[in-house]
Structure 1
């Protein structure tokens, strides 16, 4: 396993039933390890509260990330801050399996877990699909679909036909007769 990723190991074998706090940090080398095109780089800090009981491990992540992103409009790099809070549960069972996005089963006697993939997933899912440099953002950006951004002043305007198609006029006459 890569040294960068092994720094996110948590030894769970022999832990008593109580809460534990862990601190993790990551930088560009963390994002380079994962083959993704969403984040160019950045730094993050994770405060992790691990709640150990006899039947499960509940992990509460509090992530503060400064990520370098590329603007979809200008292709300029910019830094954006993200505050992420997520919870993941590991239940003890006979065989390892993923129950849902928030819950996994791990075999009894598992010596350690690695939270690097979870942290990566939480960070990547927090990044919006459309990245705009802060200078392009306005309050109206929430619903920008359908807004015409550029109008060609030399474009010809379409002609509008003011006459009514005789077929529509006949249907309109039928409608008027029904109403009477």
Structure 2
């Protein structure tokens, strides 16, 4: 937990204006969070805090790399991260998360720990499908190719001379749908 104390921002006594903070997160940061999504990494976070009478606006810009494990090969690789997110902390009578971007905090809150926000924004910026960079070109090529699949109810129509036709009998419902997709 001492590692995460470095992410405390003391808001008591701050004037209503703009402040800037810089944080560097490495493997000890990810270990201190006790989670399994990101084991290691090196990211720099620039936080712009704008304090007003009713709320605090936190603008995060997170840049760096995090270590990921490829879903296909189980090889570890560095995933680049570059994300910008905003968090609004409104002053209220109790602590409550109103939405993903808005939280209520008590008026007498002395410090805000931004470690949780940094981790959440990092997690959201990672791709759902974790692929090593050497596999990504293959995926892009597969996505670019257009594939049409036509279902048929018969095995193939025969012509008048008894030879099998290359074109199978197509159910009229599928033929009508194919006409729509060709438009």
Q: TM above 0.5, one fold? A: yes
Aligned residue for 1:68? 67
- State the alpha-carbon separation in 1 of the partners of residues 36 and 96 from structure 2: 28
The equivalent of 2:151 in structure 1 is none
Q: TM-score, normalised by structure 2?
A: 0.76
Moved over 3 A (4+): none
Match of 1:124 in 2: 123
User: Structure 1 residues 5, 142: CA separation in 2 closer, same or farther (over 3 Å shift)?
Assistant: farther
Q: Structure 2 vs 1, CA of residues 110 and 142 (structure 1 numbering), >3 Å: closer, same or farther?
A: farther
CA contact (8 A) 1:19 1:51 kept: yes
Task: Report the Cα offset of residue 94 of structure 1.
Answer: 1.1
Residue of structure 1 in register with 2:106 after alignment: 107
Indicate the larger mover: 131-140 or 73-82: 131-140
- Gaps of at least 5 residues in structure 1 are 148-159, 165-171, 173-180
Count how many residue pairs are aligned between Structure 1 and Structure 2.
154
Is 1:161 the counterpart of 2:160? The answer is no
**Gaps in structure 2 of 5+ consecutive residues:** 147-153, 159-171, 173-183
> Structure 2 CA distance, aligned partners of 1:31 and 1:24?
13
Q: 1:14 is matched with which residue?
A: 13
Cα distance in 2, alignment partners of residues 142 and 95 from structure 1: 52
How many Å separate the matches in 1 of 2:47 and 2:123?
A: 18
Q: Deviations over 1:92-139 (max 9, x none)?
A: 111111111101111112111101000010001111111111111127
Root mean square deviation of aligned Cα: 2.7
Partner of residue 78, structure 2: 79
Deviation at 1:30, TM superposition (A): 1.1
Give the direction of change, closer, same or farther, for the CA distance of 1:50–1:5 in structure 2 (3 Å limit): same
The answer for the alignment partner of 1:31 in structure 2 is: 30
Distance 2:122 2:142 in 1: 24
Distance in 2 (CA, whole Å) between partners of 1:111 and 1:122 is 23
Question: TM-score if structure 1 supplies the norm length?
Answer: 0.77
SS at match of 2:36: coil
1:94 is matched with: 93
